[in-house]
Structure 1
Amino acid sequence: MKISPLQKARYEYTPKLPGMLRNGIADICVKEGAATQSVADQEKIAELFPNTYGKPEITFEKGKNTSADKKQIVGVILSGGQAPGGHNVVSGLYDALKATNKDNVLLGFKGGPSGLLEDDYIEMTDEYIDQFRNTGGFDIIGSGRTKLETPEQFAVAAEVCKKHGITAIVIIGGDDSNTNACTLAEYMAANKTGVQVIGCPKTIDGDLKNEDIECSFGFDTATKTYSELIGNIERDANSAKKYWHFIKVMGRSASHVALECALETQPNICLIGEEVADKKMSLSEIADYIADSVEKRAANGDNFGVAIIPEGIVEFVPEFSVLISEINELLAGSKTEEFNALPSWEEKYEFIKAGLTKESMAVFEILPQGIQQQLFLERDPHGNVQVSLIESEKLFSALVADKLAERKAAGTYKGKFGVQHHFFGYEGRCAFPSNFDADYCYSLGYNAFMLIQYGFNGYLSKVSNLSKPAEEWVAGGMPITKMMNMERRNGKDKPVIKKALTELDGAPFKYFAAHRDEWAVKTSFLFPGAIQYYGPSSVCDITTKTLALEKGEEI
């Protein structure tokens, strides 16, 4: 098979491990910390997870390995959307497994969690693994979004594990996937199957993080990829000088990606959903905020600009969030089928009108019909509105155009407003991982096997101190239950991992807030360029500006 020169070079790249994991398997011991509790709803979470709740966090240190010497047969699953570095998690897991005992086995279940339920797998070998090292994508075994959440599914999974003598399952995924890992771990413990379950934190959205998980893998590569594209558009905008570019980026539940891209590229506008919610901004107020920048720049002769919009922005607008919440309840359960069976939009509109409050219907009515219909497209697995399908970049450009028309009629605005729209999502999900993600992911996989070898169950592989060189990274694990809380899903209360939102009192947002007024009027664009893999560490191994600022470092 013919491959590109870069692909060949990346195959040969040797990922860097935390110093502790470089000592050799025989010289790694465990240091236990204090017992943990869930981030919220402690009594309920403890009741639901009696066998895995309250366990201590652990750190790996130099010392004699006291783990049991036994053959390990491990299954691995890639779950959810793709994120750069997934292949290296599998590679690190495989290498640690084989370094401990060459007779250990790694089974890759195909197509996500459904591969485990259907007993569809491949046994990993050196030859097979080597085709995927340091590359993007999840094509090593594929991924899927099947939920592992019912007793019937857990029973099937346990039987498949028993059939193959599997001692542990590693689930590589985001917050929903690791919620599934947590519930599966509880089932395996409650039923004394002897099967351990370990999670690895993946999501380019960046919302699987806390005081322990400094960032999820894939965020670094994806934001660098999007920032390169945004920088290219900024250069084009500054060259053509005739378009405002409204760019939607990934981030359904949090604005981490948008904020990082703004720090990388310094656009004129970047909406932060968490701030919109905090200030209780309406759609009209947001449109005015953007129109102010357009008007001021036009007064300087600059009829062009760039606005970054997180894909989930509308959920943070209080009036819109209430509307979505009411729609989710309106279509809960069998109501979705009843709604979809209606033959015309007019009849569906009346169904909606009868089910919404007067206040929410007033918001619904001001939306363009195309946006109205997008709110009733296919639901997500939880039965909720798929916010990513709402073309918010087009919604806000249309609202801004209306505001500018009013200002032009009033004589306060005399510029031109040409618009281009973009959505950057898939472009970043399978990019060649940056050196940071290649190293981080390999470490997460390697570390996951150490958790398995020491008998931990229901833990998330954790590597921290990530703003420092890899030699100084700290490896360990934390109980997944520590991140859990209760949330309303598809009309029911369910235990899930709490999403990490952008902190308005955090250093990254404060830096952005201190500069955005200047960026809104001046052309202060930065052009980060493509990800670099070879060259000085100051260029190739830099982390995100978000992580640097969170750790008190200058950018």
Structure 2
Amino acid sequence: MKQSQLQKIRYTYEPKLPPAIRGDIASISLSLGEPTQALSDQEALKKTFAHTYGKPIATMQASGNNPQASVQRTVGVILSGGQAPGGHNVISGIFDALKKANPQNKLLGFLGGPSGLVEDQKIEITAEYMNDFRNTGGFDIIGSGRTKIETPEQFAAARKTCQTNKIDALVVIGGDDSNTNAALLAEYFVAQGDPVQVIGVPKTIDGDLKNEYIEASFGFDTAVKTYSELIGNIQRDANSAKKYWHFIKLMGRSASHIALECALQTRPTACIISEEVAEKKQTLQQIVSSLAEIVAKRAEGGENFGVVLIPEGLIEFIPEMGRLISEVNDLLAIHSTEFSGISGPDEQARWLSGKLSTESAPVFTSLPRDIQHQLLMDRDPHGNVQVSRIETEKLLIQMVSEELNERARTGSYQGIFNALNHFFGYEGRCAFPSNFDADYTYSLGYSAFVLIANGLTGYLSSVRKIAQPASEWVAGGIPLTMMMNMEQRHGEKKPVIKKALVELEGAPFTYFARHRDEWATRTSFVYPGAIQYYGPDEICNQPTITLRLEQGLEA
């Protein structure tokens, strides 16, 4: 395989580890805290996780003696869900730790995600094979998938695979749904009397798998820096041509962390934060009017250009649209057989209009035909609308244009509105990981094996204080059930790790809110440029502005 010079050089990069896990694996012990509780729905979750609920938080420390660390083990690893930069380094961290504990240990990679476990499709990851993937982007080392292990037959098949291959532990690398699956697997194995341990690793570029102990999900750092480079390039072009408005949709279905961080890095003309829209109960028309007002004010100064950032999941946070989408999800789940028998999107739209409530029906019929059809497309694996297919950026351009035309007719707007639309998603998912993500993911993988070596199951690998240099990082693990609540899925309540939304009282949003009016009226673009891997720390090793603000450091 032909390799770029950067790829060859990145193979030699040695990721940094937290101090507590740099020594002999057998000398790493755990300090366990008090029993924990789930975020909500405690009683229901206690029943679901009768054997694994309420475990204590674990913190790793270098002083100790763990004679079980060197016991020979076979560990399986699964990449689950969408790609995120650094996945390969999680696996390399697991590999290096298990080989350091005992050179006879084996690491099996299940191919194509959780389905590889169910179908016993695997490869053994050797040192030679691992070395071709260190510090690189992508999930191509073993592939990924979105299969959910949820039926009795699937659980039984997973158990058989582990027995056949004499697997002692599984590491599931994924987001909130994937790690919910990891928690269910951990509970299942304990309930069956099997000794298979299950450890999760927090992955998602969306940044919505986080709390006090999971300060960031891996891949977020690289993705937002990649998007910010592209946004900066477009802003430079807009400021040069001075004749286009760019509406840029960014990944982030359930939270606006990506949009907010990119706004902090690039200072666009406007950035919509979905959580604020929901908090203020803003209507779609109010959002459109506020954007039209910004366009009109800039036109008064002769600036008929700008950049607007839009979170992918915005449409679900607009109250009337959120109600509509929730109704659509439920109706299509309940009447799936009837709906599948209706041919053509227009007929499907008419059928849906007759089923919707008196509140939601007029909202649906007021939408452009294309948006109606996008709401009726195939559901995601959880039975929900695939919001990434809803072209919110085009909808906003159309509605802003219509309002500006109306203002022009009344003489309150005399500018020129030429708008272009973009969607940045896949561009950030498999980029070469930044130094931060290379270090963080390697540490998460290494810590995952340390949790295994100390006999834990049903935990999520954790590395804290990550806005500081790696010499101050704290490694550990938190129980998966601690992050859970019950949510409606396919028409019934199911346990799910709760997504972390942008906190409107938090330091990143309040910093943005203080400056956005200035950025809207006066062109304040920042051009971050490409991710740098070599050079001074302030260029190569800085965490996101979000992390620095959250941990009290200057942006």
- The one-letter code matched in structure 1 to 2:404 is L
Q: How much does 1:478 deviate?
A: 0.5
Instruction: Tell me which residue corresponds to 2:475.
Output: 475
* Aligned residues of 1:67 and 1:453 also touching (Cα < 8 A): no
Q: How much does 1:384 deviate?
A: 1.2
TM-score (norm 2): 0.99
Q: How much does 1:483 deviate?
A: 0.3
Alignment of 1:169-184 (within 5 A): 169-184=170-185
The SS at the match of 2:78 is strand
Q: Percent identity?
A: 62
Instruction: Tell me which residue corresponds to 1:392.
Output: 392
The SS at the match of 1:17 is coil
- The one-letter code matched in structure 2 to 1:237 is A
- The one-letter code matched in structure 2 to 1:318 is P
Q: How much does 1:353 deviate?
A: 1.4
1:237-258 C-alpha deviation (Å, 9 max, x unpaired): 0011111000000000000000
* Aligned residues of 1:51 and 1:186 also touching (Cα < 8 A): yes
The answer on 1:195 being equivalent to 2:196 is yes
Q: How much does 1:435 deviate?
A: 0.2
The answer on 1:158 being equivalent to 2:159 is yes
* In 1, Cα distance between equivalents of 2:346 and 2:548: 52
TM-score (norm 1): 0.99
Q: After alignment, is 145-154 or 343-352 more displaced?
A: 343-352
* Aligned residues of 1:25 and 1:65 also touching (Cα < 8 A): no
* In 2, Cα distance between equivalents of 1:67 and 1:77: 27
Instruction: Tell me which residue corresponds to 1:97.
Output: 98
* Aligned residues of 2:73 and 2:168 also touching (Cα < 8 A): yes
RMSD across aligned C-alpha pairs, in angstroms?
A: 0.9
* In 2, Cα distance between equivalents of 1:243 and 1:505: 34
Instruction: Tell me which residue corresponds to 1:509.
Output: 509
- The one-letter code matched in structure 1 to 2:488 is R
1:212-241 C-alpha deviation (Å, 9 max, x unpaired): 100000000000000000000000000111
- The one-letter code matched in structure 1 to 2:10 is R
* In 2, Cα distance between equivalents of 1:158 and 1:365: 49
* In 2, Cα distance between equivalents of 1:65 and 1:231: 51
Instruction: Tell me which residue corresponds to 1:143.
Output: 144
Instruction: Tell me which residue corresponds to 1:302.
Output: 303
Q: After alignment, is 65-74 or 349-358 more displaced?
A: 65-74
* In 2, Cα distance between equivalents of 1:447 and 1:270: 37
Instruction: Tell me which residue corresponds to 1:236.
Output: 237
* In 2, Cα distance between equivalents of 1:67 and 1:478: 23
Instruction: Tell me which residue corresponds to 2:264.
Output: 263
The 1:345–1:73 alpha-carbon spacing in structure 2 relative to 1, beyond 3 Å, is closer
- The one-letter code matched in structure 2 to 1:368 is P
- The one-letter code matched in structure 1 to 2:323 is V
- The one-letter code matched in structure 2 to 1:6 is L
Instruction: Tell me which residue corresponds to 2:75.
Output: 74
Q: After alignment, is 206-215 or 336-345 more displaced?
A: 336-345
Instruction: Tell me which residue corresponds to 2:365.
Output: 365
* Aligned residues of 1:67 and 1:454 also touching (Cα < 8 A): no
The SS at the match of 2:170 is strand
Instruction: Tell me which residue corresponds to 2:325.
Output: 324
Alignment of 1:74-473 (within 5 A): 74-333=75-334, 335-473=335-473
Structure 2: which 5+ residue stretches go unaligned? Answer: none
Runs of 4+ in structure 1 deviating by more than 3 angstroms, as ranges, are none
* Aligned residues of 1:244 and 1:418 also touching (Cα < 8 A): yes
Work out the number of aligned pairs and report it: 554
The SS at the match of 2:198 is strand
* Aligned residues of 1:134 and 1:438 also touching (Cα < 8 A): yes
Q: How much does 1:67 deviate?
A: 4.5
Instruction: Tell me which residue corresponds to 2:4.
Output: 4
The 1:522–1:103 alpha-carbon spacing in structure 2 relative to 1, beyond 3 Å, is same
- The one-letter code matched in structure 1 to 2:244 is Y
* In 2, Cα distance between equivalents of 1:217 and 1:266: 24
- The one-letter code matched in structure 2 to 1:10 is R
- The one-letter code matched in structure 2 to 1:99 is K
Instruction: Tell me which residue corresponds to 1:59.
Output: 59
* In 2, Cα distance between equivalents of 1:447 and 1:506: 29
The SS at the match of 1:534 is coil
* In 2, Cα distance between equivalents of 1:21 and 1:539: 27
Q: How much does 1:344 deviate?
A: 3.3
* Aligned residues of 2:10 and 2:135 also touching (Cα < 8 A): yes
* Aligned residues of 2:17 and 2:443 also touching (Cα < 8 A): yes
* Aligned residues of 2:85 and 2:223 also touching (Cα < 8 A): yes
The 1:294–1:161 alpha-carbon spacing in structure 2 relative to 1, beyond 3 Å, is same
Q: How much does 1:359 deviate?
A: 1.6
1:301-322 C-alpha deviation (Å, 9 max, x unpaired): 0000000000000000000000
* In 1, Cα distance between equivalents of 2:159 and 2:72: 19
* Aligned residues of 1:89 and 1:442 also touching (Cα < 8 A): yes
The SS at the match of 2:359 is helix
* Aligned residues of 2:467 and 2:547 also touching (Cα < 8 A): yes
1:189-208 C-alpha deviation (Å, 9 max, x unpaired): 11111000000000000000
* Aligned residues of 2:349 and 2:373 also touching (Cα < 8 A): no
The SS at the match of 1:331 is helix
* Aligned residues of 2:229 and 2:527 also touching (Cα < 8 A): yes
Q: How much does 1:338 deviate?
A: 2.3
- The one-letter code matched in structure 1 to 2:421 is H
* In 2, Cα distance between equivalents of 1:328 and 1:231: 37
* Aligned residues of 1:149 and 1:184 also touching (Cα < 8 A): no
* In 2, Cα distance between equivalents of 1:472 and 1:382: 39
* In 2, Cα distance between equivalents of 1:465 and 1:344: 53
* In 2, Cα distance between equivalents of 1:434 and 1:259: 19
* Aligned residues of 2:98 and 2:105 also touching (Cα < 8 A): yes
